């Protein structure tokens, strides 16, 4: 999801480079955070309900996620299936066929109510993947395993996506005012990337300011140990959270390890993002 400065999501899925595989190749989930000028998403404005917070397992690791609208949201904008969260499930035992799209081919379709502006953003993002990575996003004809881009909030600027290859129909949701960079971010989750700020080595590079995080949202900043971090930590990854993601007071929730600030990237791929995806899909 692309979240506002106050809303983070994902560890570095792309560039942060933990790949999402049952076998735990996970990139850091980057909060689909947006800049201060971006519109507050519906997800951000909805009141936090502690009763929706659940415990489960992913890749053999205990995790916390939020159950809302019949879906399981992990790190803000990553949607996990019930099967992924089922203890003892084959999906949690790891396997190269799960979470990676066969031959790197991702078939997709766009909902009829998407609107021309967002449809153009999808086309731009697809071109970025097809020209810069080893994945191929291909318009669906009659394939049974595919992704549908659906329209989310008419006033928001965020999004969400299922993580990795699951088989059947999967979804990427895009709000009206989402940026192209955030579309790329959500597609990164589909490819199998987590958020950068949840990499195992993140504490060497960034500091989490826990006291500035909104009540009940700290779990979105937990390290995800079950993935494999690919390449060096990339604070500029398109999969990195915004510096004030889930902030309760407008102050940073993430800084560099030396307490200095960093610039949020939602313009597109970094070289690290591209290298991470191509390592996943050689």
Residue 197 marked ligand-binding: no
Q: Which is the catalytic residue, given 38, 66, 186, 196? A: 186
> Both ends of the chain: CA-CA distance in Å?
26
* Residue 185 labeled ligand binder: yes
**Pairing outcome for strands 78-80 and 159-162:** parallel
Please choose, from the candidates 238, 266, 262, 267, the residue with its C-alpha nearest in 3D space to the C-alpha of residue 252: 262
Q: Which of 232, 275, 280 is nearest to 26 (CA)?
A: 280
Q: Residue 34: name the closest of 179, 220, 212 by CA.
A: 179
DSSP alpha helix (H) spans, 15-146: 42-45, 82-85, 116-132
Ligand-binding site membership of 189 (annotated) = yes
Place of tokens 């979470």: 99
Query: What is the longest distance spanned by two Cα atoms in the chain?
Result: 52
Q: Is 186 part of the annotated catalytic residue set?
A: yes
**Please, is 111 exposed, middle or buried when counting C-beta atoms within 10 Å of its C-beta (0-12, 13-18, 19+)?**
middle
Closest CA to 174 of 155, 153, 193, 195: 153
Query: Residues forming the annotated binding site?
Result: 185, 189, 195
Query: Residues forming the annotated binding site for Zn(2+)?
Result: 185, 189, 195
Cite the active site residues.
186
């Amino acid at each position: 999801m692309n979240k506002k400065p106050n809303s983070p999501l994902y560890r570095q899925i792309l560039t942060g480079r933990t790949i999402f595989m049952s076998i735990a190749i996970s990139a850091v989930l980057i909060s689909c955070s947006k800049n201060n000028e971006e519109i507050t998403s519906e997800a951000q404005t909805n009141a936090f309900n502690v009763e929706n917070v659940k415990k489960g397992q992913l890749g053999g690791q205990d995790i916390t996620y939020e159950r809302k609208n019949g879906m399981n949201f992990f790190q803000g904008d990553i949607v996990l299936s019930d099967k992924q969260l089922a203890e003892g499930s084959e999906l949690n035992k790891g396997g190269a066929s799960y979470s990676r799209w066969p031959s790197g081919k991702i078939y997709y379709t766009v909902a009829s109510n998407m609107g021309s502006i967002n449809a153009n953003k999808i086309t731009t993002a697809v071109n970025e993947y097809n020209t810069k990575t080893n994945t191929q996003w291909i318009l669906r004809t009659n394939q049974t395993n595919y992704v549908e881009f659906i329209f989310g909030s008419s006033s928001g600027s965020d999004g969400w996506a299922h993580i990795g290859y699951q088989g059947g129909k999967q979804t990427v949701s895009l709000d009206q005012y989402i940026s192209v960079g955030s579309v790329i971010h959500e597609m990164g989750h589909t490819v199998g990337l987590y958020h950068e700020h949840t990499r195992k080595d993140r504490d060497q590079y960034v500091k989490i300011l826990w006291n500035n995080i909104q009540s009940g949202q700290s779990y979105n900043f937990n390290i995800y140990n079950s993935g494999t971090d690919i390449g060096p930590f990339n604070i500029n990854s398109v999969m990195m959270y915004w510096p004030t993601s889930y902030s309760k007071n407008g102050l940073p929730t993430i800084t560099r390890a030396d307490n200095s600030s960093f610039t949020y990237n939602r313009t597109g791929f970094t070289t690290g993002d591209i290298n991470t995806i191509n390592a996943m899909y050689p």
